[in-house]
Chain A
């Protein structure tokens, strides 16, 4: 009966345990389940060996197209992951530990999360960070709910240039909360500022913008921050952490709550997850932050240590009055983010950001030379940019996918009238050779 090496008891041990309990069979332990409720079917397949299991997983992975050259982003980015990230986050003491409720035997996780919070604060130029959220989309939703709590207002204004996925997640979260969500249609791939001014009034809790936005465009929201603060609302900025190697930090812009997806910081694409969401804010909002926060303190001997703090905000204490329902977050992915950031370091992150921009500008220049292709407008971009093709972008993308090139994200399904638009992403991993080949393939395709 004992065919699984994950259940170690011998028949003799089981018999001994049963006699201690005072029952004859294991089945008797299930007597509290009324007989008429017992499962009549259980149709799972028969188990297999470790080797067969791995082979089957290899076969599944093999059914996806292999070796695609990625020029797609859209929220997840194909960046380098230093070898130390896998090795150190792969320490079993990290990945098989639980949430650090018992601080004395969890100082490894707790100090790492404190260092992570520090990295996020320094990256965003804000005062406080939590220990991670689920992903970039849910982080936008949590930030919006945080702003609703802080202001006691009931309206959220969302720039239509924010990732359509994040906007959809935000709407799902707020749907049942008597909150009005106003979405502003983009104007030439940028925030429609006059329309924004028209909807801003003292019922607005927050304005959500993204930088660089879904089109890849960089905007300066410094003046916007003043405008939003002028009506007593908060500015929420969704940011791409790699770009913060060079771009103005949310703190410098005047953003109150910065959020984003941490996938680009040392987490593989992995078909969409796990990654992590980050959230940082100015200090006065700390009690309204969602999720876990690690704080520094001292032990009985005055020695420095770390604990989960301000737990009175959280669901296990406050239940339905908690600042969020989040419990398990993305701790290990946040650790990967910290190791990534500590590995590339202060100078390296700036260099990496510049490298992304250099590669992207090179690609932009090449694509713009293809007859019939235009760059959407003169906006400044980081590592993503929008091009307008002479034909529907969907068919172009599909043809190039068949040639092993993921050319970009066509905008037609996200923005009406953008059927010919394609957002192209070029990270530091793309070589000049790959970019040249992509431009050549695109030119051949469009000119035939």
Chain B
């Protein structure tokens, strides 16, 4: 397809702008002006609409295709959530920050406060900040809270390390590094979780925090989690919960009850807000009481009369992590999702997410190697090692699935599983949709044996075939120069 810039015709316009009803201002000094106008597209409204509509048709999406993308929780995004978010479009965030301005924003501040309360109950935490803008931003905020906690106890210099399992998301160590920590990585044991003995050996009083995803990225609930948490606490290390996999456990277990002190929640995974082709997400952070004094500001608090206020003068705060109150529009959708499903609905979400993952696991087990063969939570991780005997890699299976109309599962993550294929169906897929997917996965396994080349050649039905990624990295052609 042509780029929009390749369709440009000088003088063409996509929208009619308001006419000026005031006098023309005096000209700015030439030294402050740009020499040439920015080379934006010049297209008619219809050209624009066709271009972006046709571009959109070159995407797979949840609304058009099954998306069993492990670790990403690509569930269906209810349409009423989109409608709900638009209700808040006109509200300027600065209004709340004006002197006396909170009186004019009680609805929006109240919703953020209530969302915090609901998330605190779901996760077993004492208070939640809604400021972080995505999961990794929440991780960074959470680990900064950990750092502030240790600093307040006079232990900032002593606490140097953050411990992560080798199966962790890459954002965990990357976020901890921004908060100033060095990383200790603990390998996974044969039972599919962080090796308990190696963990014990790694733990010293210099460890500031242990970051865990639970269930972990293999989709397994760590049976030793309480023991790990007790050991961490015995060294005055705090327990950090990566909420990426929260969809598995709502109403079943609360991270706060297990000993976690800080948690981030991905609203765009568990709470039904769309991923937008790479954001916006939202990553509220929940904490236990001991960390409340360090929460980002402005902090939304409620006075005795039920009025929402902004706390801006707390000396202990880690500061501001984003310009305003977080991704409000995303939070409006998540709030609507939670109140619509309610207590029973969210329990059902986790139950059926776990049911669906175990169903697919059992059905595909005869065809794909399952390195950790046990009851999984909301996702399961296979290896394409059997297929590799025929020269077929996980990526080949992924591309074959694209030809069949399925977004591929997450491949090559977690890195501890060779040729990993990580499947998370989510609760919103029907049995029929999963059965069709299972049939195609079996077909892929059979094709790997009978005709491996067919898998190497896939995909053939898309607008493009496999792309030369080396060329892209070498040439670094990242903007249209025409």
Instruction: Tell which of A182-190, A195-203, A245-253 binds the partner.
Output: A245-253
Q: Do A309 and B476 touch across chains, with their CB atoms under 8 A apart?
A: yes
CB atoms of B476 and A295 under 8 A apart: yes
> Looking at the complex, which one of B28, B252, B275 makes contact with A98 (CB distance below 8 Å)?
B275
Interface centre among A73, A271, A350 (most CB of B within 10 A): A271
Q: How many B residues touch the partner, as a band? A: 35 or more
Residues of B within 8 Å of A299, CB to CB, are 464-468
Contact yes or no, B464 A303, CB < 8 A: yes
Tell me how many residues of A have a C-beta within 8 Å of chain B: 213
User: Is B466 within 8 A of A328, CB to CB?
Assistant: no
Known: A26-B355, A112-B52. A48 touches B43 (CB 8 A): no
Given A50, A220, A312, which contacts B340 in the complex, CB threshold below 8 Å?
A50
Q: Which chain B residues lie closer than 8 Å to A123 at the CB level?
A: 38, 40
Given A92-B63, A177-B178, also A64-B105 (CB < 8 A): yes
B21 at the interface (CB under 8 A from A): yes
Indicate whether B35 reaches chain A with its CB closer than 8 angstroms. Answer: yes
Using an 8 Å CB-CB cutoff, how does the interface string of B321-357 with A read, 1 for contact, 0 for none? Answer: 1111111111010011011111111111101101110
Q: A74-B94, A300-B466 are in contact. Are A320 and B174 (CB under 8 A)?
A: yes
Please tell me if B290 contacts chain A, counting CB pairs below 8 Å.
no
The smallest beta-carbon distance between B376 and chain A, in angstroms, is 8
Q: How far is the CA of A321 from the CA of B174 in the complex (A)?
A: 7
Proximity string of chain A (360-404) to chain B, C-beta cutoff 8 Å, 1 when within and 0 when not: 111000000000000000001000000000000011011001000
Cα(A410)–Cα(B62), bound, Å: 45
CA distance A96 to B12 in the complex (A): 31
Check A176 for interface membership: any CB of B closer than 8 A: yes
Known A325-B136, A431-B21; contact A315-B170, beta-carbon cutoff 8 A: yes
* Contact between A406 and B55, CB atoms less than 8 A apart: no
B140 neighbours in A (Cβ, 8 Å): 325
In the bound complex, how far is the Cα of B98 from the Cα of A123, in angstroms? Answer: 32
Of the candidates B98, B106, B332, the one whose C-beta lies within 8 Å of that of A64 is B106
B84-92, B199-207, B386-394, B442-450: which lies at the interface: B84-92
A346 interface residue per 8 A CB criterion = yes
A426 to chain B, nearest CB (A): 9
Residues A68 and B258 in contact in the complex (CB < 8 Å), given A271-B328, A273-B324, A324-B174: no
B234 contacts A by Cβ under 8 Å: no
Instruction: Given A1-B348, A96-B275, A357-B25, decide whether A300 and B355 contact each other with a Cβ distance below 8 A.
Output: no
Whether B469 contacts A176 by the Cβ 8 Å rule is: no
Q: A333-B280, A347-B37, A351-B17 are in contact. Are A97 and B480 (CB under 8 A)?
A: no
Besides the contacts A331-B279, A432-B22, what 16 more A-B pairs have beta carbons closer than 8 Å?
Answer: A17-B355, A74-B94, A99-B278, A105-B59, A105-B65, A168-B320, A247-B32, A271-B324, A272-B93, A273-B327, A296-B477, A298-B467, A300-B465, A306-B467, A358-B25, A359-B22
What are 23 contact pairs spanning A and B, CB under 8 A? Answer: A4-B341, A32-B223, A39-B253, A43-B121, A48-B339, A57-B84, A75-B94, A88-B56, A102-B407, A137-B320, A137-B322, A175-B318, A245-B37, A247-B28, A268-B86, A325-B171, A327-B170, A328-B135, A339-B48, A339-B52, A345-B13, A355-B20, A358-B23
